[in-house]
Amino acid sequence: MVRDGVWGRDARGRSAWTRGRVVAGVAALVAWLIVFHATVPDLPGRPGSLLETFLPWLGLTVPALAVAALVRRSALGLLAVLLPVMAWGGHFGPLLLPGPDARHDLTVVQHNVADDNPDPAGAARALTAVRPDLIALQEVTPEALPAYRAALSARYPHHAVRGTVGLWSAHPLRDARALDIRPRGVDGGWRRGLRVTAATPRGDVAVYVAHLPSVRLTARRGFDAARRDESAELLGAALAAERLDRVVLLGDLNGTVDDRGLAPLTSRLDTAGRGLAFSWPASAPVARIDQVLARGAEVVRLWTLPRTGSDHLPVAAHLTY
């Protein structure tokens, strides 16, 4: 019960600046998690990686906290709600800003086409709508490979496929080789890494195509990303040894760029400057696990394309260098 006006003292004598401390505390905690998520320890079950996977969605707490502060008639709570607003805006706001899109040197598309895609040829044709220079695919099955080749060969005569990952290019390719990014205990038939040099009009670019292992959320093991993280370490070592100045990584990395498990990659390559581009699941995207990362180049814009029959949305990007 509030006395002395709507924002006056309540029956216990608390003012608008002394009640609502729980709301204020939760708001401060949310802000801390957004900015300092890396401080969450790597406990069993990997709560840190789980938090970082869905980090943008902490913004949904803001309206709930604001309503709680209003119900409590708490000026303290309303002021504290500004903390997660500023934290979210500082961390994710730049991704939402319109950026320069007129000039770019390279357009790329990254897509996990799904091994059970009912229309691989249609999916391939849909990816050409933005006229990319490079198209990277994962989960390319031997049965579907002829359909991808037939649909893309006219405009993308250069291609390299190793295992279930492939790259189609409008520019000549050379030095294609498989990358061994298998976690321990995985047999040799698991081939999900490719490195190739693309001879673009503005010089050679080392292009990496990768599909890291899936993560699992279980009651017994929590957020199980051990194999993905091990594969990321192997891929990171390959990137560290790369001699070309310009490097682009296109892949289904099964993790967001905030996820500490991908630090071997994000510590060596730059992420997109514009675009949230949630890519998974395609029916109701909640996270971007399909990535375009670069070194010696800038990913100036990132966006998703329409569904193709896969459980992932395609991701397109413009790069400058």
Asked if residue 12 belongs to a domain, the reply is no
Asked if residue 254 belongs to a domain, the reply is yes
- Average pLDDT across the chain, whole number: 94
In this predicted structure, what is the pLDDT of residue 14?
Answer: 83
Q: What is the pTM of this model?
A: 0.92
Residue at a domain's end among 96, 120, 154:
96
Block means of pLDDT (10 residues each) for the chain, 321 residues, are 63 82 97 96 90 96 96 94 97 85 88 98 97 98 98 97 98 97 93 98 97 90 92 98 98 97 97 93 97 97 96 97 90
Residue 293: name the closest of 244, 239, 227, 243 by CA. Answer: 239
Cβ within 8 Å of residue 36, ≥6 positions away:
none
Same domain for 204 and 280, yes or no, is: yes
Structural domain count, the chain: 2
In this predicted structure, what is the pLDDT of residue 6?
Answer: 67
Using one digit for the tens of pLDDT, what is the confidence trace for 144-178? 999 999 999 999 999 999 999 999 999 999 999 99
Same domain for 196 and 78, yes or no, is: no
In this predicted structure, what is the pLDDT of residue 4?
Answer: 53
Same domain for 144 and 281, yes or no, is: yes
Residue 86 belongs to domain spanning: 21-96
Same domain for 145 and 228, yes or no, is: yes
Residue at a domain's end among 70, 96, 122:
96
| Token duo for residue 237 | 């070592």
Same domain for 75 and 213, yes or no, is: no
CA distances for 71 relative to 1, 58, 263, angstroms: 11, 21, 42
In this predicted structure, what is the pLDDT of residue 118?
Answer: 97
Asked if residue 272 belongs to a domain, the reply is yes
Asked if residue 44 belongs to a domain, the reply is yes
Residue at a domain's end among 96, 126, 158:
96
Asked if residue 11 belongs to a domain, the reply is no
Using one digit for the tens of pLDDT, what is the confidence trace for 39-89? 999 888 889 999 999 999 999 999 999 999 999 899 999 999 999 999 999
In this predicted structure, what is the pLDDT of residue 5?
Answer: 58
Same domain for 146 and 122, yes or no, is: yes
Asked if residue 269 belongs to a domain, the reply is yes
Residue 169: name the closest of 211, 205, 198 by CA. Answer: 198
Cβ within 8 Å of residue 283, ≥6 positions away:
311
What's the rounded Cα separation, in Å, for the pair 103 and 249?
21
Same domain for 195 and 278, yes or no, is: yes
CATH number at residue 251: 3.60.10.10
Same domain for 26 and 147, yes or no, is: no
Asked if residue 206 belongs to a domain, the reply is yes
User: DSSP secondary structure string, 212-279?
Assistant: PPP-EEETTTEEE-HHHHHHHHHHHHHHHT--SS-EEEEEE-SS-TT-GGGHHHHTTSB--SS-----
Same domain for 158 and 117, yes or no, is: yes
Asked if residue 145 belongs to a domain, the reply is yes
Same domain for 111 and 61, yes or no, is: no
Same domain for 83 and 180, yes or no, is: no
Q: Is 8 helix (H, G, I), strand (E, B) or coil?
A: coil
Same domain for 91 and 110, yes or no, is: no
Q: Which long-range contacts (CB under 8 A, 24 or more apart) does 21-26 make?
A: 21/76, 23/65, 23/68, 23/69, 23/72, 23/74, 23/76, 23/77, 23/80, 23/81, 24/69, 24/74, 24/76, 24/77, 24/79, 24/80, 25/80, 26/61, 26/65
